[in-house]
C-alpha cells in the first residue's frame, strides 16, 4: 500500500491510537468522541493520556461506576456467598454472638477466649465484666451497714441484760442461755459479711460452715429455753418429779448435742468437698460471675435442713406451751420468732434457686439478717422495753402476781 513499516528493538510497531468514547445523545444517536491518546513513541509517563472530564458513562454522568457486584464488608461482618451468583456477589452478615472480625471482607468470624467478649461493634475482644456483690456498690453497702447495725444492737441488748442481771425479768429467763443466745446472734449477723465482697479461698471455705454452726447454736439456745419453760412450769405442780431437771445441765446438754450434730455436718463437708472460688462464664452471657462454688449441694441442704428441723421443733414446743401462765410466757415470743424464721427460710428456697450471681448472695444475706432479727426482736425487745422504759413492771411481785391472777381467773371460770 506504499506505507513504510518499521519496529522498535522489542519488535513493537510505532503505534499511535486515539481513545474513543461512545456517547449516546438525548435524541438516541451515538457519537464517537476522542477522549485520549496512546502513542508508544512518547515517553513512558506520557504514552497514555486521558481527558477524564470528556468521558461520559452509561449512567449519563461523569461518575465512574463501580465494577463490583457487592460492596466490601466492614469489620464486624463476614461474607456470605449468594446462591447461584458469582463469587464476587455476597451478603455481609454480622458475626454471631461471641465472635469478631477485624478485617475488611473477612470470610469468617473468630471466637473470643473464655475470659474475653466482643465489643459493641464486634471488631475486637475485650475483657468480660466480673460480677460479685461488692461492699461499695449500693446493694452491698446497704447490706453491710444493716449487718453492722443489727450486730451492734444485739451487743447493746446483751450489755443491757448484763447490767440488769439481778432484776427479776432477767433472772426469770435463764441468764446463761440468754447471754449465749445474744452472743451467738451477734456473731450470726457478722457471718453475713463473709458472703459480701470478692470471693476468696478462706471466705468460700468457711462462710457456710461458720454461719451454720453459729446459727444452730442460736436455735439450740432457743430450743433449750423453750424446753426449760415447760420443765419449770411442770416443776411448780405439787408432787412433780420434774424438779430434778431444773438447773444448768439440761440446757447445756441440749445446746451441746444439737450444735455438735451441725459441727459434724459442716466438718465433714469441709473435709470431703470444701467450697472454692469460681469464675463462672456459663450463667450470664458476656459476664464472669465470680462466686463461691459450694461443691456439694447435698451437704449444703443438709446443713440448712438441720437448722429448719431444729426451728420446727422449737416452734412446736413453744406453740404447745404458749398458754402457760404469764410468768413463763416467754414461749409466746419464741413461737413468734420461730414462725418468722420458718417463713423467711420457706421464702428463701425458691428465691435462692431462681437467682444467680450477686443477687443470689444478696438473697442469702437477707435471709440471715431477717431470721436473726426476728429471733432477737421477738424474744428480747419486749424485755428491753420493760427493763429500760417500764422498770415498775420489772419486779418479782408483778411477775408472780400476774401468774397468780391468771391462775385464779382460770379456776373461777
CB neighbours of 311 closer than 8 A, spacing ≥ 6?
219, 338, 341, 342, 345
User: How far is the C-alpha of 177 from the C-alpha of 251, rounded, in Å?
Assistant: 8
Kindly give, in sequence order, each residue whose CB lies less than 8 Å from that of residue 112, ignoring residues fewer than 6 positions away: 98, 99, 100, 118, 125
pTM of structure? 0.72
Give the pLDDT confidence score for residue 267 in this predicted structure. Answer: 92
> pLDDT value at position 89?
87
- Torsion sign over Cα 340, 341, 344, 347: negative
| Cα 411-244-251 angle, rounded to 5 deg | 95
The pLDDT of residue 36: 92
Which residues are 287's β-sheet partners? Answer: 129
For residue 410, what pLDDT is reported?
41
Domains in the chain: ranges and CATH: 16-54 (no CATH), 77-127 (no CATH), 131-405 (1.20.1070.10)
What pLDDT score was predicted for residue 214?
92
CA angle 118, 132, 115 (to 5 degrees): 30
The residues that bridge with 31 in the sheet, in sequence order, are 23
What are the CA-CA distances from residue 184 to residues 140, 163, 203, 234 (Å)?
23, 19, 19, 29
Give residue for cell 451468583: 85
pLDDT per residue of the chain (413 residues) written in tens, 0 to 9: 887 777 878 887 778 889 999 888 878 788 899 999 998 778 878 889 988 888 888 776 777 777 778 888 899 999 888 888 888 888 899 998 889 998 888 889 988 888 888 988 888 998 888 888 888 899 999 999 999 999 999 999 999 988 888 888 777 767 788 899 899 999 999 999 999 988 888 888 888 889 889 989 988 988 888 787 777 676 666 655 666 666 667 888 888 999 999 999 999 998 998 889 988 888 888 888 888 888 888 888 899 889 888 888 888 887 777 666 555 456 777 778 888 888 887 887 788 778 888 888 888 899 889 888 888 888 888 888 888 888 777 777 766 654 444 443 443 33
Secondary structure in 3-state letters for the chain: CCCCCCCCCCCCCCCEEEEEEEEECCCCCEEEEEEEEEECCCCHHHCEEECHHHCCCCCCCCCCCCCCCCCCCCCCEEEEECCCCCCCCEEEEECCCCEECCCCCCCCCEECCCCEEECCCCCCEEECEEECCCCCCHHHHHHHHHHHHHHHHHHHHHHHHHHCCCCHHHHCCCHHHHHHHHHHHHHHHHHHHHHCCCCCHHHHHHHHHHHHHHHHHHHHHHHHHHHHHHHHHHHCCCCCCHHHHCCCHHHHHHHHHHHHHHHHHHHHHHHHCCCEEEEECCCCCCEEEEEEECCCHHHHHHHHHHHHHHHHHHHHHHHHCCCCCHHHCHHHHHHHHHHHHHHHHHHHHHHHHHCCCHHHHHHHHHHHHHHHHHHHHHHHHHHHHHHHHCHHHCCHHHHHHHHHHHHHHHHHC
Which single residue is written with the C-alpha cell 481527558? 51
Cα separation, 120 vs 291, in Å, equals 26
Residue-level pLDDT at 45: 81
Quote the CA–CA distance of 377 and 374 in Å, as a whole number: 5
Amino acid at each position: 500500500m506504499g506505507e513504510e513499516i518499521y519496529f522498535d528493538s522489542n519488535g513493537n510497531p510505532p503505534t499511535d491510537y486515539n481513545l474513543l468514547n461512545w456517547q449516546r445523545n438525548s435524541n438516541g444517536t451515538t457519537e464517537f468522541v476522542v477522549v485520549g491518546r496512546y502513542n508508544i513513541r512518547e515517553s513512558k509517563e506520557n504514552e497514555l493520556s486521558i481527558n477524564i472530564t470528556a468521558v461520559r458513562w452509561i449512567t449519563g454522568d461523569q461518575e465512574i461506576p463501580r465494577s463490583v457486584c457487592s460492596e466490601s464488608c466492614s469489620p464486624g461482618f463476614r461474607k456470605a456467598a449468594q446462591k447461584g451468583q458469582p463469587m464476587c456477589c455476597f451478603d455481609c452478615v454480622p458475626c454471631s454472638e461471641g465472635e469478631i472480625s477485624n478485617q475488611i471482607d473477612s470470610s469468617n468470624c473468630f471466637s473470643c477466649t473464655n475470659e474475653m467478649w466482643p465489643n459493641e461493634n464486634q471488631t475486637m475482644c475485650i475483657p468480660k465484666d466480673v460480677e460479685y456483690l461488692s461492699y461499695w456498690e449500693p446493694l452491698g453497702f446497704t447490706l453491710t451497714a444493716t449487718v453492722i447495725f443489727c450486730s451492734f444492737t444485739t451487743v447493746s441488748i446483751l450489755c443491757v441484760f448484763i447490767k440488769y442481771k439481778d432484776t427479776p425479768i432477767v433472772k426469770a429467763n435463764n441468764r446463761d442461755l440468754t447471754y449465749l443466745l445474744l452472743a451467738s446472734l451477734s456473731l450470726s449477723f457478722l457471718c453475713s459479711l463473709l458472703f459480701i465482697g470478692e470471693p476468696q479461698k478462706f471466705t468460700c471455705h468457711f462462710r457456710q460452715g461458720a454461719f451454720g454452726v453459729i446459727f444452730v447454736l442460736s436455735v439450740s439456745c432457743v430450743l433449750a429455753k423453750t424446753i426449760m419453760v415447760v420443765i419449770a412450769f411442770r416443776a411448780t405442780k405439787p408432787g412433780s418429779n420434774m424438779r430434778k431437771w431444773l438447773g444448768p445441765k439440761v440446757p447445756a446438754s441440749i445446746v451441746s448435742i444439737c450444735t455438735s450434730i451441725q459441727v459434724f455436718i459442716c466438718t465433714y463437708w469441709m473435709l470431703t468437698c470444701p467450697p472454692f472460688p469460681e469464675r463462672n462464664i456459663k450463667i450470664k452471657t458476656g459476664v464472669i460471675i465470680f462466686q463461691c462454688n459450694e461443691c456439694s449441694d447435698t451437704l449444703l441442704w443438709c446443713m440448712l435442713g438441720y437448722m429448719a428441723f431444729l426451728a420446727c421443733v422449737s416452734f412446736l414446743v413453744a406453740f404447745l406451751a404458749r398458754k402457760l401462765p404469764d410468768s413463763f410466757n416467754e414461749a409466746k415470743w419464741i413461737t413468734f420468732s420461730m414462725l418468722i424464721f420458718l417463713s423467711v427460710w420457706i421464702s428463701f428456697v425458691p428465691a435462692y434457686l431462681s437467682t444467680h450471681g450477686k443477687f443470689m448472695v444478696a438473697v442469702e444475706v437477707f435471709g440471715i439478717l431477717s431470721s436473726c432479727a426476728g429471733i432477737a426482736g421477738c424474744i428480747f425487745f419486749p424485755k428491753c422495753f420493760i427493763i429500760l422504759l417500764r422498770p415498775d413492771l420489772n419486779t418479782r411481785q408483778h411477775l408472780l402476781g400476774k401468774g397468780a391472777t391468771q391462775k385464779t381467773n382460770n379456776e373461777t371460770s
